[in-house]
Amino acid sequence: MPSVFSWQVWAGLSAFFAALTAILAKLGVENINSNFATFIRTGFVLLLTLAVVSVARQWQPLNSISGRSFLFLALSALATGASWLCYFRALQLGEAAKVAPIDKLSVVLVALFGVAFLGERLSFANWLGVAFMALGAILVAFKF
């Protein structure tokens, strides 16, 4: 049984909020340009994280962050922004129940990238799970 502060609990909460994100974003992009909608969403994310860091008193000097960490966080931010822009456009054009599974193919890509670039190892059962996730996303998103 995972503890309240385990990575499994946090990952489950992440999935829950990601599901809410899809539904709420689909409703939010109905009558607005998807890029502008992403801009508005990003502003609220900034305010939320500002509040969390401030309340938890987790500020740290920028010079305490290594150049490598800063570079990878900047690249991650650019990838996040690109992902969100694409996601909102896809939600504007398609059904949330079909867009979200394709978006979640990122889980499959993370497994592949983790093995290829981070040296992570997956067991046969892990690879089977990755294959089922990919197959599930395809079966949900496309008409057969």
Q: What is the mean pLDDT of residues 2-22?
A: 87
Per-residue pLDDT at 2 exceeds 70: no
Sorted by where each begins, the domain ranges of the chain are 1-94, 104-144
Per-residue pLDDT at 136 exceeds 80: yes
Predicted TM-score of the model (pTM):
0.85
Tens of pLDDT, residues 51-97: 999 999 999 999 999 999 999 999 999 999 999 999 999 999 999 99
Tens of pLDDT, residues 103-132: 999 999 999 999 999 999 999 999 999 999
pLDDT the model gives residue 88 = 95
Q: Please list, in sequence order, all residues whose beta carbon lies within 8 angstroms of the beta carbon of residue 122, skipping any fewer than 6 positions away.
A: 111, 114, 115, 130
How many C-beta atoms lie closer than 10 Å to residue 37's C-beta?
21
pLDDT the model gives residue 1 = 62
Q: How confident is the model at residue 34 (pLDDT cuts 50, 70, 90)?
A: very high
Q: What is the mean pLDDT of residues 14-20?
A: 91
